[in-house]
Amino acid sequence: MRTILNDQVIYFDVDQTLVDHLYQSPEESMEIGVDGILTSVKPIQMNIDMMKLLKSQGMAIVVWSQGGYRWAEAVVKALGLESYVDLVITKPKMYFDDLDCRSFMGERKFGFREKMEK
């Protein structure tokens, strides 16, 4: 069992949060490989900078992805974020709790999309 020894835990998704698959400028992209498959992505610097800021403020950082822990780990390594990330996991499929997650997680943060919509 792995225990994060911090009560302030922040979760970052990978796709469309740390890296963008929908970018328009190929010259700004990078390729990340998992299981021999290369995926071209563009880092989303605003959210990467937020991760670094939150880590500097003492938060524990978990990176997760619906694409699985291997994809999440490959992105963290490709972006050079290993020293900022405490744990990499697959995004949960379900959870068991007496509380709805919205009651303790608060408002969803999604700086990249919010900036795009304004």
pLDDT class for 104, splitting at 50, 70, 90?
A: confident
pLDDT value, residue 111: 63
- What pLDDT, in 10s, does the model give residues 21-48? 877 777 778 889 898 998 899 999 999 9
Is 69 contained in some domain?
yes
- What pLDDT, in 10s, does the model give residues 44-63? 999 999 999 999 999 999 99
Question: How many domains would you assign to the chain?
Answer: 1
Domain interval for residue 56: 9-117
pLDDT value, residue 92: 93
- What pLDDT, in 10s, does the model give residues 75-87? 999 999 999 999 9
Count of other CB atoms within 10 angstroms of residue 116? 11
Is 56 contained in some domain?
yes
Is 2 contained in some domain?
no
Q: How much is the pTM?
A: 0.87
